[in-house]
Structure 1
Amino acid sequence: MASTSLTVGLVGGNVRAMKISRRSLIATAAAAGAGAAMAAAPADAQTRKVIRPAALRPGDRVRVVAPAGVPDTRLARGIQILEGFGLVVEAGAHLYDRFGYLAGTDEDRLADLNAAFGDPGIKGVFAARGGYGTQRIIDGLDLAAVRRDPRVVVGFSDLTVLSGRLWNAARLVSFYGPMVNWTDSRTGPAEIESLRKAIMTDEPTVLTRDPAEPSAAVAVPGTATGRLLGGNLTMLQTSIDTEDLPDLRGAILLIEDTDESAYSYDRMLTHLIRAGALRKIAGVAIGQFTNAPVTSGQWTAAQAVQDRLGGLGVPVLGGLRIGHGNGQLTVPLGTRATIDTAAATLTVQPGVRVVPAA
């Protein structure tokens, strides 16, 4: 059975959250040359048609799956929010499973993901939680089903791997936004509306630099336009020399991360630079740097990132509320975007097509 009717709440109410350090779970990828970094990108990377899925409408069926970590009781609020959009929310058959720090075995998590993409009645796929695990199953993704029936896909953090694979394999626009395992302190009415607009309307998304964000200290003046691609910095770095790292030539690179030290930001960006992945980017949009430890007398995360990106010769805009921090906003990945450091804005073209009702 591919899915079950989803009730608000978790089975038995006894699913517990588990805080996992991704750094302890994901081994740093081996250094790769520029040729290897680009090898996974299609030869026609700049010319293939970009696919925007149909906008979700009230009454559409959507599926919640857990390709990575185990969801907890906060899943109930995320379900209520999606239902508040008028969507009919279903659960993957193994949504409530646990296998160590993973939401079920690799086989079961992959089966749920492929069932969601393979069901023609499902119009949207929402990730329950991040953490770690998507890399373990991504090579089994049913790409024929993805290409046959494109649909809205929402997730962030560990789901950067899925977004990258969808882009490389199908040029499918996805959405870098909150998991269904919704966090009250991070997501209020404005953030709920940001998600709704991104997946249910064809309005552009405009984000303004928030000077209170630690990443707001990173800046290189200028204006740049390109397709917004990227996501979580850890996942981008560990995707080097795989089919999950997008070809970033001409792109606006989006990065954000959490629980990483200044030297970790330095190391990850240095790896991407040495691998040639950032060689011809158009600009960089920087989301949130949350829970970055600060050591007296040493660089902050923002200072380390400024040092690494400042010499690339492209505009850089920090302070965007995208990522793991309070006030998380939703942006499409794969549509054209413009960063304007003078206006302190990131403007992203819509990621869905509004299809007239039959």
Structure 2
Amino acid sequence: MTNRLTAPVSFKAHSAVPALPAGGVVALIAPAGPAELDLNLATQWMHARGYQLRVYPGVWQREGYLAGSDAERLRDLHEAFADDSIDAIFCLRGGYGSPRLLDGIDFELLRRHPKPFVGYSDITALHLAITRYAGFVTFHGPMVNADLLGNKQPPTETSLLRMLGGQQPPVLEHPAAWPLTTIAPGCASGRLLGGNLSMICAVMGTAFELDSEDIILFIEDVNEPLYRVDRLLTHLRLAGKLDRLRGVLVGDVAGVDVAALERLLTQELGGLGIPVLAGWRSGHCDPNLTLPMGAQVRLDADQQLLVLEQDVVVSA
């Protein structure tokens, strides 16, 4: 795969992307693992919400634990961005394989055709790369198979469509049914970056690693026992990625005892002198709330608020 990086660019201000308009066309791609897709159900879901669906060929491919070859998955990613009739790009699922695409991405093409790009889990690798080298906001949010077609609770859909459509108020609403926990008090502003903790660590030491200076770090994970979460946080600390953070927002860490996790977070993050807020329902959870990666936000751990300080989408 050809490395398309011409210079190491780290964007300190990420631009908004065009909003998903009423009647817009949503591309469905599979840049990571495969999944069975009920095309009729997916089409009906989109039509019921006023959107059109265009499914890219790689969605129907399977190569072991990957949705098609690297070349097929990369081609779909490029074609979905390059096609100006496409208004947003949703991912089928996460799983495995997104990092295999990173050194083949044409970031100049992406910069010429910015649009909402949505996914989480393994898709974190693409969020990190796109925000770093293309310089626009992406969206850590629900995927089609497990989330949008998986009967997840209404805030999952509402959060996504409000965010992409430009109806999201500055204060991001968090459902009261899931209380947040202040690990460390304070209030700070910075770019919101991160995603799946395992994937953040997996690309450490590469040209696509997290640029952690002056950011609000967001982390979430699944199927990782507490000792492995400990190991991953220690990896971030030893790599210097915790040294210049402005704050930390912890999403869902599925499968880990909440009280034990909060003790670990207090040990690892509580002494950094920055606000740390835990329990945000984003990631491998239900509901799964959308977060804008690369956007300037304010994290208020005292009031338990996350506030947008920039537009993340702009209407035509």
TM-score (norm 1): 0.79
Separation in 1, partners of 2:234, 2:182: 16
Residue of structure 2 equivalent to 1:63 = 27
Give the C-alpha shift of residue 79 in structure 1: 4.5
Separation in 2, partners of 1:210, 1:325: 15
| 2:276 is the alignment partner of 1:322 | no
Residue of structure 2 equivalent to 1:206 = 172
Amino-acid identity (%): 36
Give the C-alpha shift of residue 50 in structure 1: 2.2
AA in 1 matched with 2:153: G
Residue of structure 2 equivalent to 1:34 = none
Residue of structure 1 equivalent to 2:264 = 304
Separation in 2, partners of 1:71, 1:205: 34
| 2:46 is the alignment partner of 1:82 | yes
Q: Spell out, residue by residue over 1:119-138, the C-alpha distance to the aligned partner (whole angstroms, 9 max, x if none).
A: 12212111100011101112
Among 97, 101, 121, which residue is 2:65 paired with? 101
Residue pairs, 1:1-358, within 5 angstroms: 42=9, 45-46=11-12, 49-73=13-37, 77-183=41-147, 187-203=152-168, 204-208=170-174, 212=178, 216-217=180-181, 219-292=183-256, 300-349=260-309, 350-355=311-316
The 1:79/1:328 distance shift into structure 2, 3 A limit, reads farther
The answer to whether the 8 A contact 2:182-2:301 is kept is: no
The 1:302/1:41 distance shift into structure 2, 3 A limit, reads farther
The 1:258/1:209 distance shift into structure 2, 3 A limit, reads same
AA in 2 matched with 1:351: V
Separation in 2, partners of 1:103, 1:209: 34
The answer to whether the 8 A contact 1:226-1:250 is kept is: yes
Give the C-alpha shift of residue 156 in structure 1: 0.7
Give the C-alpha shift of residue 78 in structure 1: 4.9
Q: Secondary structure at the match of 1:181?
A: helix
Give the C-alpha shift of residue 180 in structure 1: 0.9
The 1:114/1:312 distance shift into structure 2, 3 A limit, reads same
Q: Secondary structure at the match of 2:123?
A: helix
AA in 2 matched with 1:88: Q
The answer to whether the 8 A contact 1:258-1:291 is kept is: yes
AA in 1 matched with 2:280: L
Mark the structure with the bigger radius of gyration.
1
Separation in 1, partners of 2:124, 2:90: 13
Give the C-alpha shift of residue 244 in structure 1: 2.3
The 1:59/1:158 distance shift into structure 2, 3 A limit, reads same
Separation in 2, partners of 1:300, 1:312: 19
Give the C-alpha shift of residue 347 in structure 1: 1.8
Long gaps (5+) in structure 1? 1-39
Separation in 1, partners of 2:37, 2:172: 32
Separation in 1, partners of 2:130, 2:193: 12
Q: Bigger shift: 199-208 or 323-332?
A: 199-208
RMSD: 2.3
The answer to whether the 8 A contact 2:171-2:305 is kept is: no
Separation in 1, partners of 2:282, 2:41: 20
Q: Secondary structure at the match of 1:95?
A: helix
Q: Spell out, residue by residue over 1:54-110, the C-alpha distance to the aligned partner (whole angstroms, 9 max, x if none).
A: 101122222100011112246765554333332211011121111111111111111
Number of matched residues?
307
Q: Secondary structure at the match of 1:206?
A: coil
Q: Bigger shift: 184-193 or 162-171?
A: 184-193
Q: Bigger shift: 110-119 or 281-290?
A: 110-119
The 1:290/1:186 distance shift into structure 2, 3 A limit, reads farther
Long gaps (5+) in structure 2? 1-6
Q: Secondary structure at the match of 1:307?
A: helix
